Amino acid sequence: MALAETPKEQKVTVKQMSWDPVTRIVGSLGIHTEIDFTNQQVLKCWSTSMLFRGFDIFMKGIDPRDAHFITSRICGICGDNHCTCSCLNQNMAYSVKPPKLGDFAFNLAESADFMFDHAIYNDCMANVDYSEQMVKETNPAVLAKAENTPAPHADAHGYKTIADIMRALNAFTGEFYLETLQVARYTREMYCLFGGRHTHPSTILPGGCSANITQQTCTEYYVRLMRYIDYCKRTVPMHDDLYDFFYEALPGYERVGFRETDLVCWGCFDDPDHVDYDYRNMTTWGRHRYVTPGLVFGGELITTDLVEINLAIRIMLGSSYFDDWTDEETFVSQDPLGNPIDKRHPWNKVTLPKPQARDFADKYSWVASPRMEDRRTGKFIANDTGGGPFARQWVTAKAGLVDFGYVKATGESIRMVLPKTGFQPEMELEWKIPPWSNAIERQRARSYHQAYSALVALHNLERALVEIRAGRTKSWSDFTVPDEAISVGFHEAARGVLSHHMVIRDGKIANYQPYPPTPWNGNPRDSYGTPGPYEDAVQNTPIFEENGPDDFKGVDIMRAVHSFDPCLPCGVHMYPTTGKGKVRKVVHTPTGMC
């Protein structure tokens, strides 16, 4: 989307505005912008964060069996996603296939994590931007309209007007906010039944799950799951009403957080009947996942092949503080299928940090820029994860591969059947691929994904019970660690793609490169000058807030950023961010940046 064109003689008020730290996310994120208040448009955006621990440095040389315990600690909200991804990765390296019950345990734990994460993030964090208190402070006219707008699905969720929904989302006092805090607890109890603890699990291992899984485990999971499905029957229609109202009340709101539909999804939840964790068969078992992997350029689904996806990943430097690794050792020259592996691929990435002053015209971040190669053009695209659910559902819907009764992907939509629960009859939901990739649709997809995750859980629970009732109660398989191996784990964190690439030499870790969702979304301009997705989405955002520059809160910008579900410990687990030296060459000098 082009920036606002302004006649030369017009006096334009451009202000530098910063939000540092951005709250209601996990991690340290600063958003720095230039805003044209005359034309109500963001002109420039830089996203920064400030944290360095050095996981890939101190993991070198350790026993590969420690990888999941250590990498879990990369992130405090997707730690279990990291742990699981690392175990999938180790399963490939050790050529071990867990018993079916072990695979189901992974799916049941991870789907419970999504149920928890999407619930707490939507209604205790991101949707606070749409709460009565916030809308009152930023758009009183919109709140007035909401007071007089009946909620179309009032029968389903019980709130008569849109303003009633907004009130229910008020932080620490709203009824739905408080209920969701409670929901976010019993869903974590569900996680603990298979994972032991949240967010750094104790029972998720290479080879399977070490929880003692019994009928009792399943019963305790079952009752909570059905309660959650009941909750979804209220939450999805409520969110639909709220988000649709914003399109109606503020024409043009689809441009908030808008960017090209360039998406990545690695898929998740393996079907034990198909997965063997062998790289050479990854194309096939990847397509049997309960969430389909896929690569999307410009609104077109390019592939669902995990091998092809693996080959297309590139790590760029550009605006980040690293020396290139072109002269360093090449760990992997070809994959197990004989395909050539690029020097810029994660398997060959060598981290060569070079701290230096922050210069917004040149280098200004320690986050490298992951890109996907478009083989048709040879270009490198800044794909985003849509905050997780948006890309997962977009790809799954389009691919049309998933069909397990409760959920069916149609090619253009996903149909879900929520069975009868304690308080409500059966309900059908349909998520249709929206015409835009924007803030509202990322939020809406997250809401539908709560239901999607619950139905994946229900299906896997039923299959796990078949195993237990047949007496097949083993959930872990033994293995030995080979001297040499290369492997990859592809998984989804709640907020999007997660990959772990590993090289084992002499039985120890020679290289371990985790790429979580936030490097994909929160990266800076790359070596071609392409901005990262946060920056891109904020730069496309028009300003609808009624406040002027003096009491500006930036709610539209916060909605754009929050829609990606930022999680900064993941984003910058490997590198320090901006240096604290003086800026040498100042082109733009937004507040707090020089």
Partner 1 sequence: MATFEISPNQATTEAVEAHVLWITVGLSCEGDSVAMTSATNPSLEDIITGNIPGMPKVVIHNQVIAYEVGQEYIQAWFDAEQGKLDPFVLVIEGSLGNEKINGDGYWTGFGVNPSNGQPITVNEWVDRLADKAAAVVAVGTCATYGGIPAMKNNPTGAMGVRDYLGWNWKSKAGIPIVNIPGCPAQPDNMTETLVHLVFALAGMAPVPELDDAGRPVTLFGRTAHESCNRAAFYESGNFATEYGDDHRCLVKLGCKGPVVKCNVPLRGWQSHMGGCPNVGGICMACTMPGFPDKYMPFMDEDPNGKRSSQVAKFTYGPILRWARGQSIKRKYDKEPAWRHNDAELTTGYQKRW
Residues 83-142 close enough to bind partner 1 by CB under 8 A:
102, 120, 124-125, 128, 133-134
Using CB under 8 A as the binding rule, the residues of this chain from 340 to 379 that contact partner 1 are 355-357
Residue 189 makes contact with partner 1 by CB under 8 A: yes
Handedness of CA 83, 514, 447, 47 (dihedral sign): positive
State which H helix or E strand residue 571 sits in.
helix 568-571
* Rounded (5°) CA angle 228-391-111: 30
Looking at beta carbons only, is 533 or 554 nearer to partner 1? Answer: 554
Q: Measured from the CB of residue 20, what is the shortest distance to partner 1 in angstroms?
A: 5
Using CB under 8 A as the binding rule, the residues of this chain from 32 to 51 that contact partner 1 are 50-51
Please give the backbone phi and psi of residue 281, each rounded to the nearest 5 degrees, phi first.
-110, 10
Residue 192 makes contact with partner 1 by CB under 8 A: yes
Looking at beta carbons only, is 209 or 249 nearer to partner 1? Answer: 209
CA 266 to each of CA 87, 303, 385, 477: distance values in angstroms, whole numbers, following the listed order: 16, 11, 10, 25
State which H helix or E strand residue 310 sits in.
helix 306-312
Instruction: Report the distance separating Cα 563 and Cα 156, nearest Å.
Output: 25
Residue 207 makes contact with partner 1 by CB under 8 A: yes
* Contact region with partner 1 (CB under 8 A), list: 72-80, 449-457, 528-536, 542-550: 72-80
* Rounded (5°) CA angle 561-565-569: 105
Choose, by CB under 8 A, the member of 30, 174, 267, 517 that binds partner 1: 30
Q: Measured from the CB of residue 215, what is the shortest distance to partner 1 in angstroms?
A: 13
Please give the backbone phi and psi of residue 220, each rounded to the nearest 5 degrees, phi first.
-65, -35
Choose, by CB under 8 A, the member of 115, 193, 236, 315 that binds partner 1: 193
Q: Measured from the CB of residue 581, what is the shortest distance to partner 1 in angstroms?
A: 4
Contacts of 40 (CB under 8 A, 6+ apart): 4, 542, 543, 544
Residue 580 makes contact with partner 1 by CB under 8 A: yes
Using CB under 8 A as the binding rule, the residues of this chain from 275 to 334 that contact partner 1 are none
Looking at beta carbons only, is 102 or 286 nearer to partner 1? Answer: 102
* Contact region with partner 1 (CB under 8 A), list: 55-63, 151-159, 432-440, 446-454: 55-63
Q: Of 64, 109, 32, which is closest to residue 461 (Cα–Cα)? A: 109
* Contact region with partner 1 (CB under 8 A), list: 189-197, 262-270, 389-397, 498-506: 189-197
Please give the backbone phi and psi of residue 359, each rounded to the nearest 5 degrees, phi first.
-140, 110
Residue 576 makes contact with partner 1 by CB under 8 A: yes
Choose, by CB under 8 A, the member of 37, 52, 279, 325 that binds partner 1: 52
Looking at beta carbons only, is 306 or 504 nearer to partner 1? Answer: 504
Choose, by CB under 8 A, the member of 38, 140, 197, 466 that binds partner 1: 197
Looking at beta carbons only, is 188 or 444 nearer to partner 1? Answer: 188
Looking at beta carbons only, is 196 or 299 nearer to partner 1? Answer: 196
Choose, by CB under 8 A, the member of 3, 54, 324, 469 that binds partner 1: 54
- Cite the DSSP H helix spans in 55-153: 55-58, 67-71, 79-94, 100-124, 132-138, 140-147
* Contact region with partner 1 (CB under 8 A), list: 22-30, 267-275, 373-381, 458-466: 22-30
Residue type, 491: H
State which H helix or E strand residue 237 sits in.
helix 215-249
Using CB under 8 A as the binding rule, the residues of this chain from 147 to 176 that contact partner 1 are 171-172
CA 325 to chain centre: 28
Which single residue is written with the structure tokens 């709250």?
Answer: 23
Instruction: Report the distance separating Cα 500 and Cα 457, nearest Å.
Output: 24
Q: Of 534, 389, 407, 386, which is closest to residue 460 (Cα–Cα)? A: 407
Q: Is 141 exposed, middle or buried (0-12, 13-18, 19+ CB in 10 A)?
A: exposed
Instruction: Report the distance separating Cα 182 and Cα 175, nearest Å.
Output: 11
Q: Measured from the CB of residue 494, what is the shortest distance to partner 1 in angstroms?
A: 12
Choose, by CB under 8 A, the member of 181, 301, 332, 417 that binds partner 1: 181
Choose, by CB under 8 A, the member of 25, 45, 382, 391 that binds partner 1: 25
CA 435 to chain centre: 20
Residue 569 makes contact with partner 1 by CB under 8 A: yes
Residue 411 makes contact with partner 1 by CB under 8 A: no
Residue 387 makes contact with partner 1 by CB under 8 A: no
Q: Measured from the CB of residue 527, what is the shortest distance to partner 1 in angstroms?
A: 22
Residue 566 makes contact with partner 1 by CB under 8 A: no
* Contact region with partner 1 (CB under 8 A), list: 380-388, 422-430, 431-439, 576-584: 576-584
Radius of gyration for the alpha carbons in the chain, expressed in angstroms and rounded: 23
Q: Around 325, how many Cα atoms within 13 Å sit in the side-chain half-sphere? A: 23
Using CB under 8 A as the binding rule, the residues of this chain from 431 to 490 that contact partner 1 are 473-476, 478
Instruction: Report the distance separating Cα 354 and Cα 576, nearest Å.
Output: 10
Q: Measured from the CB of residue 179, what is the shortest distance to partner 1 in angstroms?
A: 11
Instruction: Report the distance separating Cα 429 and Cα 410, nearest Å.
Output: 13
Q: Measured from the CB of residue 58, what is the shortest distance to partner 1 in angstroms?
A: 4
* Contact region with partner 1 (CB under 8 A), list: 202-210, 311-319, 379-387, 529-537: 202-210
Q: Is 137 exposed, middle or buried (0-12, 13-18, 19+ CB in 10 A)?
A: middle
Residue 264-283 contact track with partner 1, rule CB under 8 A, x = bound: --------------------
Size of the site for partner 1 (CB under 8 A): 91
Looking at beta carbons only, is 191 or 406 nearer to partner 1? Answer: 191
Question: In angstroms, how far is the first alpha carbon of the chain from the final one?
Answer: 28
Looking at beta carbons only, is 394 or 575 nearer to partner 1? Answer: 575
Looking at beta carbons only, is 23 or 334 nearer to partner 1? Answer: 23
Looking at beta carbons only, is 134 or 306 nearer to partner 1? Answer: 134
Choose, by CB under 8 A, the member of 14, 39, 76, 308 that binds partner 1: 76
Contacts of 368 (CB under 8 A, 6+ apart): 315, 316, 317, 320, 322, 519, 523, 575
Angle between helices 100-124 and 439-469 (to 10 degrees): 150
